[in-house]
Amino acid sequence: MRKILCVLIVISFCLCGLANAVAAERIAFVNIKKILFESEAGKAAAQELKKFVDAKKTQIQDKEEELQKLKDALEKQRTLLTESAFREKEMSYQKKFRDYKRFIEDANEEMKIRDQQVTQELIPDIQKIISESGKKEGYAAIFDIGTNGLFYTSHQDDITDRIIDLYNKSYRSNK
C-alpha cells in the first residue's frame, strides 16, 4: 500500500512539473484573413482582381444591352412578322439569353477561381513570415484565429499586426 501511495505521489509531482512546463510555452495567434486584406501584397492582389471583375462587369453590361435591343426589336416586329418568323426570332433571342446566363455563371466561377489562386499564391509567403517570426520570438505555436477550432484568444497574444508589418517589408524588398 505504501509503495502505491509513493508511486502516486511521485507521478503527481511529475505531472505538475509537466503542466508547468507546458504552461510556460508561449502561444500566439494571427488572423490570416486580416493579413490578406490589410497587407500591401494583399491589397495589390485585390486591385488586380478588381480589374478583372470590372472587365467582366463591362462584358456583362454589353451583353445585357445587346439582349435588350434584341428584345425591343422583337416586340416592335411582333405585329409585322408572321407567326413562324416571330417564333424563329424569339427562339434566337432565347438562345442568346441562355448564352448570356451561361456567360454570367462562367464569369462568376472564373472570378472565384482567380480569388482562390491569388490567396494560394500569398499564403506560402505569409506562412514563411509567421514561421520565422515564431522561431525568432520563441513561440511554441501560432494559431490562425479564423479557424473553426479556436473559441477564445486574448488580444495581447495576437501578433497579426506585427506579421503584416514584416510581410509588407518582405513584399517591398521583393518588388
Instruction: Report the predicted TM-score, pTM, of the whole model to 2 decimal places.
Output: 0.68
Measured in residues, the chain has a length of: 175
Place of cell 491589397: 43
Of the candidates 54, 100, 93, the one whose C-alpha atom is nearest the C-alpha of residue 74 is 93
Low-confidence ranges of the chain (pLDDT < 50): 1-10, 12-24
**Structure confidence at residue 1 (pLDDT):** 45
Please name every residue paired with 29 in a beta bridge, in sequence order, or none if there are none. Answer: 143, 158
Nearest alpha-carbon partner for 64 in 101, 108, 105: 101
Q: What pLDDT is stored for residue 18 in this prediction? A: 41
Q: What is the pLDDT of residue 102?
A: 96
Dihedral of alpha carbons 163, 118, 120, 174, sign: negative
pLDDT, residue 148, reads 64
Interatomic CA distance for residues 53 and 75, integer angstroms: 33
Which string of DSSP letters, residue by residue, matches 96-146? HHHHHHHHHHHHHHHHHHHHHHHHHHHHHHHHHHHHHHHHHHTEEEEEETT
Please give the pLDDT value at position 17. Answer: 46
- The b-or-e profile of 24-62 (16+ CB within 10 A means b, else e) is eeeebbbbbebbbeebebbeebeeebeeeeeebeeeeee
C-alpha cell at 76: 416592335
What is the model's pLDDT at position 74? Answer: 87
Domain ranges of the chain: 26-174
Distance CA 72, CA 88 (A): 16
